[in-house]
Amino acid sequence: MQMRKPVVLLVAEAVTLAHFARISTLAKALDSPAYEIAVASDPRYADLEPSLGCAFHPIRSIPSAEFSHALAQGKPLYGVETLTQYVENDLALLDSLKPDLVIGDFRLSLAVSAPLRKIPYAAVVNAYWSPFADTDYPVPDLPMTRILGVHLAQKLFNAVRPMAFAQHARPLNRVRRSYGLPPLGPDLRNAYTWGDYTLYADIPEMVPTCNLPAHHRYLGPVLWSTHTQLPEWWNHLPDDKPVIFLTLGSSGQANLLPMALNALSRLPATIIVATAGKIAIADAPANAYITDYLPMDIATRRSRLVISNGGSLTTYQALAHGLPVIGVCSNMDQLLNMGAVERAGAGLALRGAEISSDDLFSAASVMLGNSPHAQAANRLSRLLQQYDAGQRLREIVAEILAKERQQSSLDQLPA
C-alpha cells in the first residue's frame, strides 16, 4: 500500500503583494515528489504568478485599501470579528486538506486555527518584527506625525509604543481566548511572529537578533519577480544613460509617483516605472517609460538605482544585484526595513509625508555615481549570494516533518 505524501500548505495574507510573492516563491522551492504542496491566498495577485505549479485554494483577505487605511491611521489592522471569520475559513481549509505542516505569511489567524487542529505552524516574517531583534522603532507617518513633526512625534511614540503594541495585539489575544487558547501577551511582535517555528526572511548580518530560541531560524531573503511580459518599449530603451527603476509597489503611496517623476526628469537618466496598476500617469516626462508591472529581476539587472516604497521584497531584489536603494517610506514595516538598509550603508530612507522633489533629486544624483551606497550594495550582493532561502526551507521542512513523525510514533506506543 502506497504511503500518503506529507501535505504542506502555504498560506498568504494577500493584503500586500509581498506576502503572496514570498509564499508563492517558497511553494515553488518546495516542489518535490516527496510532498503534496498547496497554496491558499486571496486570488487578487494570482495573475502575477501563473506558473505556481501546485493546487491553489482561494481564501478571503480584507481589501488592500482597508488594510492601508488602518496602517495610515495607526489602528489595529484586524478586529475581533475579522480574525474570527479568518479562523473559521482557516479551519474549513485545514479540515479539507489535512496538512501535515502549515507555513503562513502574515496570516495571523493561523496562530489560532493551526493549534486548534494540532498542526505544526511555521510563520514567515521579517526579523525586525522579532521580540529578539536589536532595533529601534521609528514612528510611522501617522496623523500625529504630520501635526507634531517627526522629531516630537518620535519622542511621544517612544513613550507610548508599549501601550500601542499592546492595543494592536489585543484582538488576536481575544480571539485566542474565545477558542480556549492562552493569549500571546501584550506585544504586537508576539502576534506577528508566533509559531511553532518562526522563519525570518532576512539575513542576520542586516537584521541581527539576540538570544534567539532554537525554533526561530533565518531563511534568508525570498526573492520574487512577476512573470508578466515585458512592455513593448523595453527593447527601445536608450543605451547611453543610466537606468533608474522606480516602483512604489502595492503598498506604497502611488500619489507620490508624479512628484518622483518630476524630480527624476531633471537627471541624465532613463526612468523605468512600474505603477502596480494603482495610478495612471497622464503627463510622463520624456525620459520615463511606464507600465503596470515589470519583472523585478530583469528590471534590476538593467538598472543602476532602485527607488521603491522601502519594502523588503524590492530592496532585497535590488541588493542581490548590487544596487543601492532609496526607500520612500510611510509605514513602520518600510521604515524598519530601510533602517536595516541604511545601517548597512546601501540606501537611504525618505519619508513620504515629508519628501520633496528636491530631496529625491539630490538623493538620486548622489547614488547614480560611484557612491559609498553603491559600494556597500555591491558588498551585500556578494554576501547575499551565500544564502538560498529555498534550500534552507527544504531543510527546515524535512526536519519538522521528521520530528513530527517521530513524535507521532512515540504517541502510539503503549503506556
Domain span at 150 = 7-222+388-412
- Dist. CA 321–CA 385, nearest whole Å: 10
Residue 142 has which C-alpha cell?
501617522
Judge if 15 and 29 occupy the same domain.
yes
Q: State the total domains in the chain.
A: 2
Judge if 138 and 185 occupy the same domain.
yes
With respect to residue 1, please indicate whether it lies within any of the assigned structural domains.
no
Judge if 166 and 261 occupy the same domain.
no
Judge if 28 and 96 occupy the same domain.
yes
Q: b/e per residue, 72-98, with b = 16+ CB within 10 A?
A: bebebbbbeebbbebbebbbebbeebe
Judge if 241 and 359 occupy the same domain.
yes
Residue 122 has which C-alpha cell?
511555521
Please tell me the predicted confidence (pLDDT) of residue 409. Answer: 66
Judge if 68 and 196 occupy the same domain.
yes
Query: Which residue stretches of the chain have pLDDT < 50?
Result: 1
Judge if 246 and 275 occupy the same domain.
yes
Q: Any idea what the CATH number is for the domain that residue 295 is in?
A: 3.40.50.2000
Judge if 197 and 257 occupy the same domain.
no
With respect to residue 147, please indicate whether it lies within any of the assigned structural domains.
yes
With respect to residue 362, please indicate whether it lies within any of the assigned structural domains.
yes
pLDDT averaged over every residue in the chain: 94
Please tell me the predicted confidence (pLDDT) of residue 101. Answer: 98
Please tell me the predicted confidence (pLDDT) of residue 193. Answer: 98
Judge if 242 and 340 occupy the same domain.
yes
pTM of the prediction?
A: 0.94
With respect to residue 124, please indicate whether it lies within any of the assigned structural domains.
yes
Judge if 125 and 44 occupy the same domain.
yes
Judge if 184 and 283 occupy the same domain.
no
Residue 47, phi-psi category: left (phi > 0), alpha (psi -120 to 50), beta (remainder):
alpha
Judge if 56 and 114 occupy the same domain.
yes
Q: Are 242 and 305 in contact (CB under 8 A)?
A: yes
Please tell me the predicted confidence (pLDDT) of residue 205. Answer: 95
- Dist. CA 380–CA 346, nearest whole Å: 8
With respect to residue 227, please indicate whether it lies within any of the assigned structural domains.
no
The 10s digit of each residue's pLDDT in 133-185 is 988 999 999 999 989 999 999 999 999 999 999 999 999 999 999 999 999 99
With respect to residue 2, please indicate whether it lies within any of the assigned structural domains.
no
